[in-house]
Structure 1
């Protein structure tokens, strides 16, 4: 098992694997209402079986080099995560995403964790384009996209049906040369 430090505050990024299904479910229960405002993850992870199945689907994606999921821990407690919902190494594209429970908001955890996985995808896996699709109403996630140096490409009007309503989705992205330029400048 390995962990990647996310800074001096003791936060860590670790793979979120099927054997952590119970911990993942407890985390989801703590943040279910908050996380579920914009993403369907809490609707997919409702009991131990669905938690295990969700994490197993990402283990299979990782084995096929088609996606990844990582948890964010603070003080030994799972508080959120980042993922590559999709990853197509052959075409050099990936879609990143995130979630966070209320107790961990406002500490820069998602931004730091997303930087780690995007850097890995670009530098280690040769990904050229990383997308970030976000509900137009999800200001915190849009702020993360901005902090990551992403460019807003447009709005997919009413493209996401969630809990009986249609939502606009913003598409943000960063290209490998842009990512490298921002990293060199900082």
Structure 2
């Protein structure tokens, strides 16, 4: 690693003489091979999303979310109306290209244009979306938008330290674990230690290549089972 020093001989970070604040993300539609991301709309997506979430055997998918399980369609629609078109977080619905139905959501949040930092969060994937090519592609599409199109330097993932599936998902997607923030949040009447992960812009080119190789049709057999794991392609 190159060592940079200032006029006083003190070590300093790498210079960024041409740095400019990045643009705020916009509500766009992102098209993939297996799914499409659309700005969340309670009217267009709400009923499909409630039906997809209702397929879960219990409310465990919401344990580490700030929202609680929804007991009725009306309750979920009210929630979706509250969060749609928000400035931060910005929620997107994941649309299954085969059924053309919304099967989950995720969001860009904690948007910091001055420093080029953004977090992906509020990841609410239904049983129709979990552990599918759509789930990986949804993350890839939003990641590519933030890092490649908007030029953000840092793409973050944070989760409750108790949420082992989320921690494993972050590592599978190529995020680097950075540490544990103890007693960072109080939610749902309990304390949360938060795990921090990130991808930085210099890591994006090989990650992008791995995503595209994994998502390629030839990486799946006739039953849709992957031939190579994403981790093996990095």
The reply to whether TM is greater than 0.5 is: yes
What's the CA shift string for 1:106-161, capped at 9, x where partnerless?
21433221111111111111110011001122222222211221110001123222
Residue 20 (structure 1) aligns with: 44
1-structure distance, mates of 2:200, 2:53: 35
The two structures have a TM-score, normalised by structure 2, of 0.64
Contact 2:32–2:137 (CA<8 Å) still a contact in 1? Answer: no
1-structure distance, mates of 2:47, 2:196: 31
List alignment gaps of at least 5 residues for structure 1.
none
Change in 2 beyond 3 A, CA 1:18/1:79: closer
2-structure distance, mates of 1:40, 1:119: 26
| 1:68 is the counterpart of 2:90 | yes
- Counterpart mapping for 1:102-113 below 5 A: 102-113=127-138
- Partner SS state of residue 122, structure 1: helix
Q: Give the total of aligned pairs.
A: 176
The two structures have a TM-score, normalised by structure 1, of 0.79
| 1:36 is the counterpart of 2:38 | no
Q: Let me know the Cα RMSD of the aligned residues.
A: 2.8
Residue 106 (structure 2) aligns with: 82
Contact 1:153–1:172 (CA<8 Å) still a contact in 2? Answer: yes
16-25 or 31-40, which moves further after superposition?
A: 16-25
List alignment gaps of at least 5 residues for structure 2.
1-27, 214-234
- Counterpart mapping for 1:1-186 below 5 A: 2=29, 4-7=31-34, 11-20=35-44, 22-23=46-47, 26-27=50-51, 30=54, 33-42=59-68, 46-55=75-84, 59-61=85-87, 67-74=89-96, 75-97=99-121, 98-184=123-209
Structure 1 stretches of 4+ with a deviation exceeding 4 A read none
More strand by proportion, 1 or 2? 1
- Deviation, structure 1 residue 93: 0.5
- Partner SS state of residue 159, structure 2: strand
More helix by proportion, 1 or 2? 1
Change in 2 beyond 3 A, CA 1:36/1:13: same
